[in-house]
Chains A and B, each alone.
Chain A
Amino acid sequence: GDSVTQMEGPVTLSEEAFLTINCTYTATGYPSLFWYVQYPGEGLQLLLKATKADDKGSNKGFEATYRKETTSFHLEKGSVQVSDSAVYFCALSDRDSSYKLIFGSGTRLLVRP
């Protein structure tokens, strides 16, 4: 079945550092890929998405590129801020999963001033 694997957290960075959170997936079809973010005490917010190979999703300075050859969708940001501290979830959706969201386990990011 479909699955998503994320790097273990927590990831601790200093402000203005470069961020990469790795995400790889397993799917038999051609999934859509998502990154969600959960700030403390809140629900999940859709951060960005990509629907086909080589698509780049971007939002709020975050980017991720759909790499079919490596089955990856790594999240990057050039300069993190303290306000980016949150838990980040990678997810996929496709016909084989009945279009449900399949989530990774989440990666906690802590940005220090």
Chain B
Amino acid sequence: ETGVTQTPRHLVMGMTNKKSLKCEQHLGHNAMYWYKQSAKKPLELMFVYNFKEQTENNSVPSRFSPECPNSSHLFLHLHTLQPEDSALYLCASSQRGLTVHEQYFGPGTRLTVT
């Protein structure tokens, strides 16, 4: 595997379900990100992790719970979601400490909440 992978690619869940999204980066980076992309707001940064520590939470509702057990893996735990949470969830990684901070994205998980 190369780059940034995300599983599952598609997920349909009811409002009372609990599910998790997984992201893995194979680039040796030390920072990882979750974004939400929907028709209403094209790209919203949700969470930032640097060296496994959460450094940013952009007022994300508590029904989204991130977890970063190591620099290569990032999870987004979902529970009691709302239909408006249906979106494409993108994971990204980057190497902090360099002069140029480009991020590399995974293919995303298309989430539908019914």
Contact = CB atoms under 8 A, between A and B. Distances in A.
B45 A89 contact: no
Chain B CB count within 10 A is highest, among A32, A45, A93, A99, for A99
Interface stretch (A15-23, A61-69, A73-81, A100-108): A100-108
Contacts of A25: none
Given A44-B90, A89-B43, A106-B42, A101 B101 contact: yes
Contacts of B4: 43
B105 to A, nearest CB: 4
B37 to A, nearest CB: 9
Contacts of A51: 99-100
B111 to A, nearest CB: 14
B112 to A, nearest CB: 14
B102 interface: yes
Contact of A43 (B45, B48, B105): B105
Interface residues of B, number: 21
Given A100-B45, A100-B48, A43 B90 contact: yes
B101 A32 contact: yes
B104 A46 contact: yes
Contacts of A42: 107-108
Chain A CB count within 10 A is highest, among B48, B90, B102, B106, for B102
Contacts of B108: 42-43
B79 interface: no
B100 A32 contact: yes
8 contacts: A36-B105, A43-B6, A43-B90, A43-B105, A43-B106, A44-B105, A51-B100, A99-B101
Interface of A: 32, 34, 36, 42-46, 49, 51, 89, 93, 98-101, 103, 105-106
Interface of B: 4, 6, 42-43, 45, 48, 56, 90, 92, 94, 96, 99-108
